[in-house]
Chains A and B, each alone.
Chain A
Amino acid sequence: MRIGDFHASYRHDEALFDTRVQRAWFAVLVVALLAFPFVGGAYFVYLACLLGIHLISAAGLNIMTGYTGLISLGHAAFMGVGCYTVAVAERAGIPFYLALPLAGCASAVIGLVVGVPSLRIKGLYFAVATLAAQFVLGFVFREWESVTGGVRGANVPAASLFGFELAGDQRIYFLIVPLAVVMLLGARNLFRTRVGRAFIAIRDRDISAEVLGISLFHYKLLAFAIGSFYAGVAGGLWGYFFRVATPELFGLPLSVFYLAAIIVGGLGSILGTILGATFMTMVPELLRAMVGWAQALGVQDASVFLASIRQVVFGLLIVGFLIFEPHGLAEMWRRVRRFFHLWPFRT
Chain B
Amino acid sequence: MSTFDRRRFIGSGVAAASAAALGAPLRVFAQSGEIVIGAAPPITGVFAFAGAGLHAGLGDWVEWKNAQGGIAGRKLRYVAEDSSYKVDQSVAIFKKIVAQHKPPVFYGDSTGWAKAIAPEVSQLGSLLATGPSFSSDLADPAKAPYYFMPGPTYSGQIEILLEHASRSAAGATKPSVAFVYSDTEFGRDPIAAGKAKAAKLGIPVVLEIITKPGAVDVSAEMIKLRRAKPDFVIFHGYVLAPIPEFIRQMREAGLSSRGMGTIYSMDKTTIDQMGAVGAGFLGVMPYRYSFDSQKTATMELIREVGSRKPGNPWQTTFYTQGWLVGMIFDQVIGRTLSAKKELTGPNMKAALESINKWDTGGIFGVPISLKSHAIPVGRTYLVTGKSIEPASDWITIG
Chain A positions near chain B (C-beta within 8 angstroms): 5, 15-19, 21-22, 25-26, 28-29, 32, 41-44, 46-47, 50, 142, 150-153, 155, 157-158, 167-169, 188, 242-244, 246, 248-249, 269-271, 274-275, 278, 282, 285-286, 288-289, 292-293, 296, 303-308, 333, 337
Contact = CB atoms under 8 A, between A and B. Distances in A.
Given A46-B92, A243-B116, A307-B45, A151 B185 contact: yes
Contacts of A286: 18, 21-22
Contacts of A188: 2, 4
Contact of B1 (A18, A157, A270): A18
B88 interface: yes
B82 A16 contact: no
A32 B12 contact: yes
Contact of B8 (A25, A47, A151, A246): A25
B44 A243 contact: no
Contacts of A41: 23, 27, 99
A29 B7 contact: yes
Interface of B: 1-8, 10-12, 14-15, 18-19, 21-23, 25-27, 43-45, 81-82, 84, 87-88, 91-92, 95-96, 99-100, 111-112, 115-116, 118-120, 123, 137, 183-185, 187-188
B82 A142 contact: no
Nearest to B96: A43
B135 to A, nearest CB: 9
A17 B183 contact: no
B5 A44 contact: no
Contact of A289 (B11, B22, B45, B87): B22
Contacts of B184: 151
Given A25-B8, A242-B88, A278-B14, 19 more contacts: A15-B2, A17-B4, A18-B2, A21-B5, A25-B5, A26-B7, A29-B7, A29-B11, A41-B23, A43-B96, A46-B99, A150-B188, A155-B115, A158-B119, A242-B91, A271-B6, A289-B26, A305-B44, A307-B45
Nearest to B88: A249
The 6 closest A-B pairs by CB, nearest first: A42-B99, A22-B5, A307-B84, A244-B116, A307-B44, A29-B8
Interface of B is mostly: helix
A41 B98 CA distance: 12
A315 B119 CA distance: 35
B84 A285 contact: no
A173 B123 CA distance: 17
B381 to A, nearest CB: 28
26 contacts: A16-B2, A16-B4, A22-B5, A25-B4, A25-B8, A26-B4, A32-B8, A43-B99, A47-B18, A151-B185, A152-B137, A152-B185, A152-B188, A155-B118, A169-B95, A244-B87, A271-B7, A274-B7, A278-B11, A289-B22, A292-B25, A303-B82, A304-B43, A306-B44, A307-B84, A337-B6
Contacts of A244: 87, 112, 115-116
B5 A17 contact: yes
A89 B88 CA distance: 23
A53 to B, nearest CB: 11
